[in-house]
Amino acid sequence: MTTTSDLTGRTALVTGATAGIGRAVALQLADRGATVVAQGRDADRGAELVAAITARGGAARFVPADLAEVADVERLAAAAGEVDVLVNNAGVYRFLDTPSTSAAEFDRHVAINTRAPFLLVAALAPGMAERGHGVIVNVSSSAATTPAPVGTAYGASKAAIELLTRSWAAEFGERGVRVNAVSPGPVRTAGTTGMLGENIDLLGKVTLRGRAADPEEIAEIVGFLVDDTRSGYLNGTVVLANGGERSAMAA
């Protein structure tokens, strides 16, 4: 497969890279010439991803890590080494109401969705700043800004990552590091389909596009945000990719 060379010579760390949006992002960045460091927990899926990237003419390696564990996040950052692109995609989501959400479940959402990106940025962004260039893309969710009666812990963890996106843009932007986020609406992945079943289609139908997104559509936006030529003046921005929200009157 012929790849474009806009990311040739660059290294990209993608968390949650073995499925869904993360896998689509990893494949796209590798196709564009980046060496991909793919994080996940399943070694078999990690090996399959590396094989798929290699078969397309790209370069990748898999680093297993449990992002709920601080030591594993720190080990992942050390194993990744100097990176030019960091995509904080990994996330956990359970759509429970508040009384049904245990303290442990709340802590797990915060640990994976908020703390892990925080620790990775703390470990890797200073090196980007010293080298004078780098791009960080955080994958948020429409749950961060759209109140719902379930998924409160998930929404809170994603709202935090959107504030961190703006804070990191202010902290590192003057030293050549751009930090942005993409906020998807309903996306058809194995995870969402397994959890929500046909409800993922119902969620998609209430958008102005009338359907759930494919992972590749969100990966295209991540790819745009990574590209210094096409998005070089974007910093501290959250790109909404929710298919369009219907107004209360239209609904």
- 201 within domain boundaries: yes
Confidence at residue 250, expressed as pLDDT on a 0 to 100 scale? 46
Position 2 scores a pLDDT of 39
3-state secondary structure the chain: CCCCCCCCCCEEEECCCCCHHHHHHHHHHHHCCCEEEEEECCHHHHHHHHHHHHHCCCEEEEEECCCCCHHHHHHHHHHHCCCCEEEECCCCCCCCCCCCCCHHHHHHHHHHHHHHHHHHHHHHHHHHHHHCCEEEEEECCHHHCCCCCCCHHHHHHHHHHHHHHHHHHHHHHHHCEEEEEEEECCECCHHHHHHHCCHHHHHHHCECCCCCECHHHHHHHHHHHHCHHHHCCCCCCEEEECCCECCCCCC
Would residue 6 count as lying in a domain? no
**Active-site position among 154, 172, 212, 219:** 154
**pLDDT average, residue stretch 123-135:** 98
Tell me the whole-structure pTM to 2 decimals: 0.91
In a domain? residue 251: no
Average pLDDT over residues 151-157: 96
Q: How far is CA 131 from CA 74, 84, 225, in A?
A: 21, 9, 19
- Please give the pLDDT value at position 132: 98
Is residue 246 in a domain? no
Q: 41 with 66: CB under 8 angstroms?
A: yes
Active site residue 154: yes
Is 174 a member of any domain?
A: yes
Q: Tell me: pLDDT of 200 over 60.
A: no
Domains in the chain, number: 1
Closest Cα to residue 21, out of 138, 117, 165, 169?
138
Tokens of 168: 């990191």
Asked whether residue 3 is assigned to any structural domain, the reply reads: no
pLDDT value of residue 162:
98
CATH assignment at residue 69: 3.40.50.720
- pLDDT tens, position by position, 13-66: 999 999 999 999 999 999 999 999 999 999 999 999 999 999 999 999 999 999
Q: Is 162 exposed, middle or buried (0-12, 13-18, 19+ CB in 10 A)?
A: middle
Phi then psi for 233, rounded to 5 degrees? Answer: -100, 10
In a domain, 249, yes or no: no
Write out the residue range of the structural domain in which residue 222 sits. 11-241
For 60-119, the pLDDT digits (tens) are 999 999 999 999 999 999 999 999 999 999 999 888 999 999 999 999 999 999 999 999
103 in any annotated domain: yes
Least confident of 24-28, 158-162, 246-250: 246-250
